[in-house]
């Protein structure tokens, strides 16, 4: 029998709140975290909106030295980890190392701000002024490394990058590490900070971004017939996973159980989802098989739901392919409608939304759903939260490159 894995801690830094209670309150209220870009002057850009993290002061949180020695994506991860460790009532540090605690924090891009800032320095001031800290700050694995050093954790320490599926893959792979006995506790999730002119320009030129500059809060509208692209966001989501035995032995509060994880590839196109949705469907089927559940057991799906014309239509088709007639009884909602697309952090923050739904019995809405699309014909929990009391929740994450990751969580019931 494989070891059971449970969720005992949550932490988040997002455009809709810099901690989980605030995030969840805003999600249930349908409050958007999307607005005009404030980190730089976007007037030369065709897209001038984003889902920015607000009121985040790394100097106040970590001190001036740490704030200067870490990229924004690492600082997001460090703060979300601090919250999750505290939420789980875990005690690390004190000069002792823990070999049974690992870290798996992914990112889609890594330290983009550090890289681009130092490139500007190179061009303007010459090579001798480039920071010697540039490489360790921009490395995708910087967040995993920083967390391990902060808490003295010598368990498995890994970073993965699978674009928009990163957060889900990080949580799923961390669960597998626990199941095979290589760790008792895993700190896992994703972090991203790429709200920068070059990223906005690139995504816009790709045709991926919404251009609703005059209506930022209404710009991200997953599954709506007038959707025109996603809104770039930033932030971090961190989940504490534990073996059930470890959690029970220390008397931990258990949110829910992670019972299924499935991954697949479209093997089709570097940015576009495969038209039939078979890659996404395969990941969902694999998650169900891993959980040992029939499709009818799922009550709620937190969709990838990007608000792009292709993704939302193909994800809807994939859900119908997997769930058949049961698809009409599913509640489906998109967290991105309020927080934008957090790229490598998206799957982790959306997993947190699933966990909170199982804990509270509420499902957050998909906001800005006003004009039904005949090709997107599921119950997207439009505009208002719903009391659902779900027992099983599925979280979908699909990334550029055709990477697919699905997680299944089940409401916690103490083992008899």
How do residues 114-135 score in pLDDT, each as one tens digit?
999 999 999 999 999 999 999 9
Whether the pLDDT of residue 415 is over 70: the answer is: no
Per residue in 228-270, pLDDT tens? 999 999 999 999 999 999 999 999 999 999 999 999 999 999 9
Per residue in 355-387, pLDDT tens? 999 999 999 999 999 999 999 999 999 999 999
**pLDDT at residue 414, rounded to an integer:** 57
Is the domain of 41 the same as that of 137? yes
Classify residue 84 as left (phi > 0), alpha (psi -120 to 50) or beta.
Answer: alpha
Is the domain of 151 the same as that of 52? yes
User: Domain of 365: which CATH number?
Assistant: 3.40.47.10
The C-alpha atoms of residue 247 and residue 61 are separated, in whole angstroms, by 28
Is the domain of 244 the same as that of 269? no
Is the domain of 230 the same as that of 314? no
Confidence of residue 150 (pLDDT cuts 50, 70, 90): very high
What is the three-class DSSP state of 392?
strand
Per residue in 280-298, pLDDT tens? 999 999 999 999 999 999 9
Whether the pLDDT of residue 138 is over 50: the answer is: yes
Per residue in 294-316, pLDDT tens? 999 999 999 999 999 999 999 99
Q: Is residue 255 part of a domain?
A: no
Could you tell me which residue, 94 or 113, shows the higher pLDDT? Answer: 113
What is the three-class DSSP state of 198?
helix
**How deeply is 309 buried, as exposed, middle or buried, from its count of CB atoms within 10 A (0-12, 13-18, 19+)?**
middle
The C-alpha atoms of residue 20 and residue 13 are separated, in whole angstroms, by 8
Is the domain of 207 the same as that of 274? no
Whether the pLDDT of residue 1 is over 80: the answer is: no
Mean pLDDT, rounded, of the chain: 97
Please name the helix (run of DSSP H) or strand (run of DSSP E) that holds residue 346, with its range, or none.
Answer: helix 346-360
In the block, tokens 């999307």 appear at 34
Total domains present in the chain:
2
Is the domain of 129 the same as that of 26? yes
> And the tokens for 353?
């939304």
Per residue in 323-340, pLDDT tens? 999 999 999 999 999 999
Is the domain of 321 the same as that of 187? no
Is the domain of 205 the same as that of 306? no
Q: Which domain-ending residue is among 221, 249, 277?
A: 249
The parent domain of residue 15 ranges over: 5-249
Per residue in 27-48, pLDDT tens? 999 999 999 999 999 999 999 9
Whether the pLDDT of residue 81 is over 80: the answer is: yes
Is the domain of 243 the same as that of 134? yes
Whether the pLDDT of residue 416 is over 50: the answer is: no
Taking every pair of Cα atoms in the chain, the longest distance, rounded to a whole number of angstroms, is 67
Is the domain of 235 the same as that of 116? yes
Parallel, antiparallel, or unpaired for β 331-333 and 300-302?
parallel
Q: Is residue 416 part of a domain?
A: no
Per residue in 43-57, pLDDT tens? 999 999 999 999 999
Whether the pLDDT of residue 204 is over 90: the answer is: yes
Whether the pLDDT of residue 205 is over 50: the answer is: yes
Q: Is residue 9 part of a domain?
A: yes
Please list the helix, strand and coil fractions of the chain in percent, rounded to the nearest 5, in that order.
40, 25, 40
Is the domain of 226 the same as that of 265? no
Catalytic residue numbers, as ranges? 164, 304, 341
Buried b (16+ CB within 10 A) or exposed e, 254-289: bbbbbbbbbbbbbeeeeeebbeebbbbbbbbbbbbe
């Amino acid at each position: 029998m494989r070891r059971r894995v449970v969720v005992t801690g949550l932490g988040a830094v997002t455009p809709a709140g810099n901690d989980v209670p605030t995030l969840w309150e805003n999600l249930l209220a349908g409050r958007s975290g999307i607005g005009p870009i404030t980190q730089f002057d976007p007037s030369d850009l065709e897209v001038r909106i984003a889902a920015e993290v607000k009121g985040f002061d790394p100097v106040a949180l970590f001190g001036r030295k740490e704030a200067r020695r870490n990229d924004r994506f690492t600082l997001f991860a460090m703060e979300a980890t601090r919250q999750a460790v505290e939420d789980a009532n875990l005690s690390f540090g004190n000069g002792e190392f823990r070999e049974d605690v690992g870290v798996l924090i992914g990112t889609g891009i890594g330290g983009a701000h550090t890289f681009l800032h130092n490139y500007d320095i190179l061009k303007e001031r010459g090579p001798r002024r480039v920071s010697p800290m540039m490489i360790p700050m921009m490395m995708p694995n910087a967040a995993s490394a920083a967390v391990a050093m902060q808490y003295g954790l010598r368990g498995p320490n890994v970073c993965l990058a699978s674009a928009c599926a990163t957060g889900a893959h990080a949580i799923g792979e961390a669960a597998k590490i626990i199941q095979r006995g290589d760790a008792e506790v895993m700190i896992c999730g994703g972090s991203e900070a790429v709200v920068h002119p070059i990223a906005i320009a690139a995504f816009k030129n790709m045709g991926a971004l919404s251009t609703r500059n005059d209506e930022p809060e209404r710009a991200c509208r997953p599954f709506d017939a007038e959707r025109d692209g996603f809104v770039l966001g930033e932030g971090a989501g961190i989940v504490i996973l534990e073996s059930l035995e470890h959690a029970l032995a220390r008397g931990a509060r258990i949110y829910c159980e992670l019972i299924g994880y499935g991954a697949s590839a479209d093997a089709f196109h570097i940015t576009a989802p495969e038209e039939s949705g078979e890659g996404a469907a395969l990941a969902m089927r694999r998650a169900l098989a891993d959980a040992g559940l029939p499709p009818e057991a799922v009550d709620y799906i937190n969709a990838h739901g990007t608000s792009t014309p292709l993704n939302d239509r193909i994800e809807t088709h994939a859900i119908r392919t997997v769930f058949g007639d049961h698809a009409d009884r599913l509640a489906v909602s998109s967290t991105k409608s309020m927080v934008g697309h957090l790229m490598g952090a998206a799957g982790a923050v959306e997993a947190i939304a699933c966990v909170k739904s199982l804990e509270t019995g509420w499902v957050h809405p998909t906001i800005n759903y006003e004009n039904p699309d005949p090709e997107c014909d599921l119950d997207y929990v439009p505009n208002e939260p719903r009391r659902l009391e779900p027992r099983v929740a599925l979280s979908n994450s699909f990334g550029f490159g055709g990477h697919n990751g699905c997680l299944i969580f089940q409401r916690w019931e103490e083992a008899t």
